[in-house]
Structure 1
Amino acid sequence: MTGAGRRIAVGLSGGVDSSVAAARLREAGAEVVGITLRLRPDGPFLPGRGATDVEAARAAAERLGIPHHVVDARDEFDRCVLRPAWEEYERGRTPNPCLHCNRRLKFDVLWRAAAAHGAEALATGHYARLERSAGGRIALRRGRDRRKDQSYFLAGLSDEQLARAVLPLGELTKDEVRARARELGLPNAERPGSRDACFGTLGGSFAEALRVRFGGVARPGRLLDAAGNELGRHAGLHRLTVGQRQGLGLARGARAYVLALDAATGDVTVGTWNELLCDGVDATLVRWHERPTTWPARFEAQTRYRQPVVAAEATEADGGRLAVRFAERVAGVAPGQAIVFYEGDRVAGCAWIDALRRGAGGGACQ
């Protein structure tokens, strides 16, 4: 971590991680400026919590003796993160808003605010590492604390965004961060973690809160087995996601899981655990940090945050698409999620899952 003599802005969320990140930079000799994005809109998204986050960030900045600024980014959050998430639900897909928020808000809107305050770099409290080579290339790597590693959420950042980023917590564990916060007397030392707090709701699901916010229509439909037989009805496509087991309202001897959602008809196919398992995916919007030089390319793939990696082979197809085949069958893979490719602990690239491949024939299904 470099910081001496540099003016570095820190995205202060109000949580302990970003506060300790700011403290480490200050201790390293950086001139630190704290900036908080106010993201949460009014309505069903934890009313008042946004103001609480701002106050927690301000208190931490005061304790650290650094200037603090607040940027109202609620409109951008609504337009660039929340509305696209609802549009994904409408298409029968499972959105991954954290990746979009990092790329469009935290390392774009926040960076522009940082630059306006004279900063030459932007730091956050993410648990991941950046490695800069002598030739100027930047590698994004997993954080040392594998339980908290957040490189998956940063995989969609551009090279330009990574070049101006600083990640002071990459070599620390969460326990070490908490301990340091207590030593510093930070008022948020015991504050609960904030993962997914931006998308929290009161008394309901994220998808339902989005539907209400954007005036969406709940689309009820049929629950079908893999042979097309009707087993029951569901209350709305947006309430379901591939791999879901709870809330189906089916009385079956064996547990039923959501296998696929059809946005055109509103039908949802359910089946057994074995039918849920996925052999591979088709993916688009590929973002390489290190483009393969030969095909097929072999990686370790991760299809959800904190999901174990699986050996995978990727083949480039027409239109920049990727056909990815897993070495073993995987559960919990859903269209709309990101698939991140690793070489050891280094992020090689990422893409967005469009379709799943199941069965010996490898046919794709939405």
Structure 2
Amino acid sequence: MEKKKVVVGMSGGVDSSVAAYLLKEQGYEVIGVTMQIWQDEEEFVQEENGGCCGLSAVEDARRVAASLDIPYYVMNFKAEFKKNVMDYFVAEYLKGHTPNPCIACNRYVKWESLLKRSMEIGADYIATGHYAKITELSNGRYALQKSVTAAKDQTYALYNLTQYQLSHTLMPVGDYSKDQIRAIAEKIGLRTANKPDSQEICFIPDNDYAGFIDREAKGQVPPPGNFVLADGTVIGKHKGITHYTIGQRKGLGIALGKPVFVTAIRPDTNEVVIGSNEDVFGTTVYAKNLNFMSIPDLDGEMEVIGKIRYSHKGSPCTIRKVEEDKVVCQFHEPVRAITPGQAVVFYDGDIVVGGGTII
């Protein structure tokens, strides 16, 4: 029987390195690929861009592939990354939203573009080092299932994958904890065994989002404006709406004698609304750009656990459709900092029901 061929997206990190090893052990014909997504920066900037973008990632991945004795290629996805991730990130911030670029990258670059190109070279599957599992349900649909390790679970950032993408994807790391993955890497002598996880957004290694947006959105950056209370009372000046996100407390540069937080951003009037901690909590979330996984569509009401950001543990809520591409999610208890631009992802136990973008 001919071996099934799988293209593993290798970032040079320990997770994707071990994913390639595990699949080879399982009998697949494995090809390693690093996606070149950094733009035409100076070499030293590329070198510094850790995570899954830097030149060092290519070097690490190439050496891992050599030690696993699998073919290795670098594929250029610069244009796709610029359009679907970087430009999207900037456009969302200019609207007063706080986007999640990893979700856009997963859906449109790692899956759409890499899967298409992998199929063109005769692959049956693509694979990644994400901490998640893919399961085929009794209704015939494919869905993500939480990984065995809650601390590292990455299903939230993958809720947007289509049925076709899920059916052609393998995620071997989802059955292991991070410690187990590092132990496997050490056992087989991988040089990436103790490489630290990347934390920041890969194309903003200095974490200065506002500076990045200023450079990218030349001439379109919103000017300074007013800090206001909910009733419109002006209480100070802000630096520009791209510097703020819902729930933010630090770096506001405003003293009201008590802790205050950003409760809303109003791009139309160029205002940043300030309030107390209680004002940051809410129970109603609207979302659009919906993607359903475990069910073909939402019919009537459904009780789920909703997660409104990657670090949110999730809270019980009721969801129902209010328009063709719009869902309302009613949380049973108030949740903190409902942020337009972030994703809300719905779970039924360990299974991803679906999700959408908070509006």
Equivalent residue for 2:217, pick from 208, 214, 218: 214
- Look up the match of 1:170: 174
- Look up the match of 1:304: 309
* Correspondence list, 1:34-183, <5 A: 34-43=32-41, 46-48=45-47, 49=49, 50-133=54-137, 136-183=140-187
Shift of 1:258: 0.5
Q: Partners of 1:307 and 1:252 in 2: how far apart?
A: 29
Shift of 1:109: 1.3
- TM-score, with structure 2 as normaliser: 0.93
1:6 maps to a residue whose letter is: K
Aligned partner of residue 87 in structure 1, secondary structure: helix
Deviates more, 1:299-308 or 1:311-320: 311-320
Q: Partners of 1:210 and 1:74 in 2: how far apart?
A: 18
Shift of 1:123: 0.4
Aligned partner of residue 306 in structure 1, secondary structure: coil
1:244 aligns with 2:242: no
Equivalent residue for 1:339, pick from 328, 334, 344: 344
Shift of 1:116: 3.1
Shift of 1:140: 1.1
Q: Partners of 1:307 and 1:230 in 2: how far apart?
A: 32
Q: Partners of 2:13 and 2:344 in 1: how far apart?
A: 28
Shift of 1:131: 1.2
- Look up the match of 2:274: 270
Shift of 1:43: 4.5
Aligned partner of residue 169 in structure 1, secondary structure: helix
- Look up the match of 2:14: 16
- Please say if residues 132 and 154 of structure 2, whose CA atoms lie closer than 8 Å, have aligned partners that are also in contact: yes
Shift of 1:195: 4.4
1:104 maps to a residue whose letter is: Y
Aligned partner of residue 344 in structure 2, secondary structure: strand
Shift of 1:259: 0.5
Question: 1:125-164, CA deviations, whole angstroms, 9 ceiling, x for partnerless residues?
Answer: 0000111246643221111100000001110000000010
- TM-score, with structure 1 as normaliser: 0.91
- Please say if residues 291 and 348 of structure 1, whose CA atoms lie closer than 8 Å, have aligned partners that are also in contact: no
- Please say if residues 20 and 177 of structure 1, whose CA atoms lie closer than 8 Å, have aligned partners that are also in contact: yes
Question: 1:226-279, CA deviations, whole angstroms, 9 ceiling, x for partnerless residues?
Answer: 222111111111110111111100112221110111111110001111011011
Shift of 1:220: 1.1
Shift of 1:316: 1.4
Shift of 1:14: 0.8
Gaps of 5+ in 2: none
- Please say if residues 122 and 164 of structure 1, whose CA atoms lie closer than 8 Å, have aligned partners that are also in contact: yes
Deviates more, 1:88-97 or 1:216-225: 216-225
Query: In angstroms, what is the RMSD of aligned CA positions?
Result: 1.9
Shift of 1:72: 1.4
Q: Partners of 2:350 and 2:101 in 1: how far apart?
A: 23
Deviates more, 1:14-23 or 1:41-50: 41-50
Q: Partners of 1:251 and 1:22 in 2: how far apart?
A: 53
Shift of 1:4: 8.8
1:47 maps to a residue whose letter is: Q
Question: 1:292-330, CA deviations, whole angstroms, 9 ceiling, x for partnerless residues?
Answer: 665222110001002111111112113431111100001
**Closer, same or farther: CA 320–111 of 1 in aligned 2, 3 Å:** closer
1:349 aligns with 2:316: no
- Please say if residues 35 and 110 of structure 1, whose CA atoms lie closer than 8 Å, have aligned partners that are also in contact: no
* Correspondence list, 1:287-298, <5 A: 287-289=291-293, 290-291=295-296, 294-298=299-303
2:212 maps to a residue whose letter is: A
2:304 maps to a residue whose letter is: F
Percentage of matched positions with identical amino acids: 35
Q: Partners of 1:320 and 1:116 in 2: how far apart?
A: 32
Equivalent residue for 2:258, pick from 250, 254, 258: 254
2:251 maps to a residue whose letter is: G
Shift of 1:5: 2.3
